[in-house]
Structure 1
């Protein structure tokens, strides 16, 4: 049988293992600022909802309970400013990474079709194209893309890894450009609630989409805002025709969000208090790390939102990774996100206050 994995690049995080070993040798232990996995507790009200829904022996549905669909549409209208949302405009998914990786395949893309994504980007956009045997292209400006064969255009604002936020006028121009050419826009907005020096806007906002969901789908996750990475709680929202097709495919594939996770998601989306508290934690860690990095000679670029600082000392990213590993600090090399990141590193804010303070102390020497 042919090996599907042969279509894929080397899993990037495997290349970081030797540096992780070096950082772990530090007398005071490693400070891991690489992957960006949440470390703070799941809010009690969400854990309670999960526990209370634990006795659910039957199969869940792919499109979710009525309560979940209402929670998703309500949150999109309240938080994103979306209008005219119905249950046909939302669909729960089993974590956003699964959706990103398999979306081109589920939409029927293949050889001759093209998928576009930012030049500095989450690697799974490319993986999704490769799994579908589609072609892929990285862009600096989506408005300068050749539309020939282009079927799927990824936006990512706030960006992973750079934290850059696209203004509403840029998003509006891209959506209009794509609609004129029959290109589906997928907007990865998983960090939208973590704006620091900018206020991120969704493609579902009327100022961007003109009140129509045609040709646009937004991707959202509860991993960062609610510390639910372990729950695999995410959803997509937008064009009802696209979501309806995905629903049929995912029903056949059994891609069901577990019933207890659906119940927990309802509660998580209905509560803003825990989100504000988590934002405050990240804001304090961001300020401490940014100051320490700048004092150590780093320049921070973009980073106006998301859970990362995009930092450079104008040297090879791997030289930076090695130097920080010697101090017991592990960060992600920028070239994980494309060759354009070869002189940057991504520094995650997802470490406990104690570990962040340890990193700050080491950086300041």
Structure 2
């Protein structure tokens, strides 16, 4: 039996360990801006919902409770502007990374099929293609791809790692092209509520999809907007035929969101106040780090949304990683996200106010607290 892992690239984060050791040796400790994991508390109303649902001895359903589906459809309509969304247009999943990694397999793709994703992208798009034996294909403009054999097209707006936002007219053009060629579009919109210098638009907005969800599905996560990375709470919305097929497969596979997490998701999607509070925290950290990096000689490209700054000193990314590690600051090298990122680093602003203040100080710029910590 051949090892499936042999199909996959080397797990990139292992390469950072020596630089993490260097940064950790700083007298004031490491400032870890590499991974982008939430560090702020889970909002109290979400914790309360989780605890109240803790006595859940029975199996949850893959499709979720009626209350959860109501919450999903309500949020998609209210926040994304989607129209006519019913229960058959939504599906909870066990975190978005699981979905990205296993979607091509669940769609029945394999040898001879192609999965396309941006040239600079979250590495799990490639992993998903390789796990099922499909061919991974990168693009700058997806409408310039050869559609022959192309079964799945990943969009990612706002982008991880660059923070780039696809304009509405770009989305319209891409969706029209994909439908013309029978290519299924999955749009990773997990950072949609974190637009700073641009307002991200969902592929489900009627101006983009024309009021029909045929051939389009959006992926959303509560990890960043609600600090729920530890809960593994995410969902899909869009084409009911595609989601219906995935529902049947996931029933057989036992891919169930835990019942307490379903209850917590209902609470999270029903409250916008905590999202705005978290945005304010991130906005302050973003401004402080961006200003400090620019004054320190970095150039920031894109970064109009998401939780990252896409930064360069016009040198190899590992040189920059090494340089910042010497200041006790750990960042992610751009080549983790594709060869086109070899002269950039991704700087997350998910650290606490205190750690962001430490980074800014090391970069030579005062830091103004938000009052959130």
Specify if TM > 0.5: yes
Map Cα deviations across residues 148-184 of structure 1 (whole Å, 9 max, x no partner). Answer: 1000000000000000000010001000000010000
1:154 aligns with 2:141: no
User: By how many angstroms is 1:143 displaced?
Assistant: 1.0
Map Cα deviations across residues 34-74 of structure 1 (whole Å, 9 max, x no partner). Answer: 00000000000000000000000000000000000000000
| 3-state DSSP of counterpart to 2:187 | strand
User: By how many angstroms is 1:364 displaced?
Assistant: 1.3
**1:23 paired residue number:** 23
What does residue range 62-73 of structure 1 map to in structure 2 within 5 Å?
62-73=62-73
Task: Give, in whole Å, the separation in 1 of the partners of 2:136 and 2:25.
Answer: 40
**2:274 paired residue number:** 274
**2:371 paired residue number:** none
Task: Give, in whole Å, the separation in 2 of the partners of 1:142 and 1:357.
Answer: 40
| 3-state DSSP of counterpart to 1:191 | coil
| 3-state DSSP of counterpart to 2:193 | coil
**2:323 paired residue number:** 323
**1:340 paired residue number:** 340
| 3-state DSSP of counterpart to 2:153 | strand
Please list every run of 5 or more consecutive structure 2 residues that lacks an aligned counterpart in the other structure. 366-373
User: By how many angstroms is 1:332 displaced?
Assistant: 0.2
User: By how many angstroms is 1:308 displaced?
Assistant: 0.2
| 3-state DSSP of counterpart to 1:165 | coil
User: By how many angstroms is 1:136 displaced?
Assistant: 1.2
| 3-state DSSP of counterpart to 1:127 | helix
What count of residue pairs does the alignment treat as equivalent?
Answer: 365
Task: Give, in whole Å, the separation in 2 of the partners of 1:248 and 1:109.
Answer: 16
User: By how many angstroms is 1:31 displaced?
Assistant: 0.1
Task: Give, in whole Å, the separation in 1 of the partners of 2:235 and 2:11.
Answer: 25
1:32 aligns with 2:32: yes
| 3-state DSSP of counterpart to 1:323 | helix
**1:61 paired residue number:** 61
1:363 aligns with 2:369: no
| 3-state DSSP of counterpart to 1:223 | coil
Task: Give, in whole Å, the separation in 2 of the partners of 1:36 and 1:136.
Answer: 25
**1:174 paired residue number:** 174
Show structure 1 runs of 4+ deviating over 6 A.
none
**2:88 paired residue number:** 88
| 3-state DSSP of counterpart to 2:76 | helix
| 3-state DSSP of counterpart to 1:309 | strand
**1:164 paired residue number:** 164
Map Cα deviations across residues 194-226 of structure 1 (whole Å, 9 max, x no partner). Answer: 000000000000010000000000000000000
Task: Give, in whole Å, the separation in 2 of the partners of 1:350 and 1:18.
Answer: 22
Task: Give, in whole Å, the separation in 2 of the partners of 1:14 and 1:247.
Answer: 34
**1:134 paired residue number:** 134
What does residue range 194-233 of structure 1 map to in structure 2 within 5 Å?
194-233=194-233
**1:302 paired residue number:** 302
| 3-state DSSP of counterpart to 1:153 | strand
What does residue range 91-130 of structure 1 map to in structure 2 within 5 Å?
91-130=91-130
Q: CA RMSD in A?
A: 0.5
| 3-state DSSP of counterpart to 1:226 | coil
User: By how many angstroms is 1:338 displaced?
Assistant: 0.0
User: By how many angstroms is 1:227 displaced?
Assistant: 0.1
Task: Give, in whole Å, the separation in 1 of the partners of 2:354 and 2:208.
Answer: 41
| 3-state DSSP of counterpart to 2:220 | strand
**1:293 paired residue number:** 293
